Structures are given as structure tokens and as C-alpha cells.
Amino acid sequence: MNIKKIVQWILCLSFMSVLSLAATKESKPGTKTGAILTRQKVAGFLAKESGLFNRYVPAKADDKWCVDFLSKLGVQLYLKGESNETGFSKKDMARVLGQIELLLNGEATYLNGGIQVPKNIKSWIEFCAINKVEYRTTYEAMQNNFIKGLK
């Protein structure tokens, strides 16, 4: 098994195994915490809970700190013109997980501080399909777990 497949397997397992734990920590029944999957919540999860970056992130780091941390690595949680009020979509998840995949594999290329989709690939969605990055499953699991806190 090559290193790329191992990293993909670890990514998938990390995201899926920690999702329910993150939801119970972030969401409390009867509150609006976790109602909308935001960029800050996704950043907090990826940086602190996924196990991918927790070695570099203080346990008490807030979600804004996590956004800044991932941004410094080139992971673009926000695109131009977007705010935290804008919901986080499946397309956003494809971009973020695709960028993390390239970052962890050492294959990232940067433009204006952000990790770029590789040449000859049209979109992050196509990149995820080619490289078997499970962005849909991760997005749906995170969205469902954060919304469960409302019920």
C-alpha cells in the first residue's frame, strides 16, 4: 500500500471517528450552537478534533485561531467575498479536504498563499473524485451531527 493510500485511509477514519465526539462537545440540546455548519466550526474540528493537526494546535485554541492556523498553511476556508455568515457547502468541503490532502502528501502548490487545484484538474470536486477523498460523506456527517444538537 503506498503512502498516499495510507494518508487517505487515515484521513477518512479520523474524520468519521471523531465526528460524533465533536458534535456532542459542540452542540447542546435546546441551543443554537451547531445549527449551521460554519467555516469556523469546520476549522475548529479539522485543527483540534481530527487528529491531523492537533500536535500543532493548543487544546484551548478557539475556532478563529484554527481558521488563522489553517489559512497560514494555505487551506482556504474563505474565498473572496465570503463571510462567516455564509454557510459551508459540500463544494467548500471538497476544496478544504482536497487542499489538506495535497498539503499532507507534500504535493501542494501555492498561489497568493492558497493551495491550488493541480493542473489539468477542473475543480476540487473532480480532484476529490480522482483521489477518493470522501468530502460528501464528511460534509453530511458533520452537518447531521451539528444539527442533531438542536433537537
Burial label, 7 (beta-carbon count in 10 A; 0-12, 13-18, 19+): middle
C-alpha pair distances (Å), 1 with each of 48, 52, 135:
28, 20, 22
pTM, two decimals, is: 0.74
**Residue in 63, 47, 142 with CA at minimum distance from that of residue 103:** 47
Calpha distance 89→110 (Å, rounded): 23
From first to last of the 151 residues of the chain, give the pLDDT tens digit: 455 555 554 554 455 444 434 443 443 333 344 457 888 889 988 898 888 897 899 989 998 999 999 999 999 998 876 665 667 899 999 999 999 999 999 999 999 999 999 999 999 999 999 999 999 998 988 888 766 654 4
